[in-house]
């Protein structure tokens, strides 16, 4: 878990990261669910998203053998 704290987004995933981040923080709660998140809600969702994205990137790297 300590590796997650210091990881940088790989250059080939930067666009995907920010598009998905926008979807998770603003589009999904606001447009689909009709709610607005508080600052704490945004922080929790950001941390959750970042951990999940980190896991996805590491899993994908292991599958591709990078």
Average pLDDT over residues 46-50: 93
pLDDT above 90 (res 48): yes
pLDDT above 70 (res 1): no
Total-model pTM: 0.81
pLDDT above 70 (res 66): no
pLDDT value at position 36? 85
Rounded to whole angstroms, the Cα distance separating 39 from 25 reads 11
| Domain ranges within the chain, ordered by starting residue | 36-66
pLDDT in tens, 10-46: 899 999 999 999 988 888 888 877 888 889 988 999 9
């Amino acid at each position: 878990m300590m590796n997650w704290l210091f990881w940088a987004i790989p250059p080939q995933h930067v666009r995907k990261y920010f598009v998905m981040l926008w979807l998770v923080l603003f589009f999904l709660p606001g447009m689909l669910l009709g709610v607005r998140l508080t600052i704490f809600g945004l922080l929790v969702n950001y941390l959750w998203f970042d951990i999940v994205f980190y896991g996805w990137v590491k899993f994908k790297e292991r599958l591709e053998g990078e």
